[in-house]
A = this chain, B = another copy of it.
Amino acid sequence: MSRQMARPGGRSARVQAAVHEAVRELGAEVGRDAVTVPMVAQRAGVTPSTIYRRWGDLQALLSDVAVERLRPDTEPKDHGALSADLTVWAEQFLDEMASPAGRAYIRDALLGDPDGSNAGQCSVYAAEQIDVVLARAKGRGESTPAVETVIDRVVAPLMYRILFRPDGIDAAYARRLVTEVLGTTG
């Protein structure tokens, strides 16, 4: 991911911000499948070769933009108990990822990502959010499962079904996964 190489505030960061914004605007205007590198370059005020040099190709650029869009804006809300915090988080995660925009971003993140670092970043975002929820629960003296267990038992089934088995996935299913994983911590 080129994003991590950019110094905040430097020219590199400004180019990246302008290019990402151009991709988002053009995607909204003409549809994601009609976006081309020359269109993005013109809108962002850079040359196409700047984009090719930095991102390699359009798919890699779309993948970077997708990961940026999948980054959570805020910490999970505090509802005073682990089961409420994790349930609300899982419902929201399902809502966002299963939406047409969410599915498109997940696909883009998985593609144009030969070394898997963008897909990995999506998983890091989920793990960070879950970490916040679990740390808060520990602070209250609640017993908690490990973050990797929550990934296996809640995040993985949600994401697998969104990608491979979308029928019949709903908020009740997300709630059941959370109830079951919390049941195992006794």
Contact = CB atoms under 8 A, between A and B. Distances in A.
Interface of A: 107, 110-111, 116, 119-120, 122-123, 151-153, 155-157, 159-161, 163-166, 177
B165 A120 contact: yes
Contacts of A120: 164-166
Closest 9 CB pairs of A and B: A156-B160, A123-B164, A152-B157, A156-B157, A156-B156, A123-B165, A119-B164, A159-B160, A160-B160
A157 to B, nearest CB: 4
A160 B97 CA distance: 14
Nearest to A121: B164
Contacts of A123: 160, 164-165
Interface of A is mostly: helix
A139 B163 CA distance: 33
B159 A122 contact: no
Given A116-B166, A164-B122, A153 B151 contact: no
A165 B152 CA distance: 11
A62 to B, nearest CB: 12
Given A110-B110, A111-B107, A111-B111, A164 B153 contact: no
Nearest to A108: B111
Contacts of A156: 156-157, 159-161
Task: Give the residue among A157, A161, A163, A177 with the most B Cβ atoms within 10 A.
Answer: A163
A116 to B, nearest CB: 6
A156 B166 CA distance: 13
A170 to B, nearest CB: 14
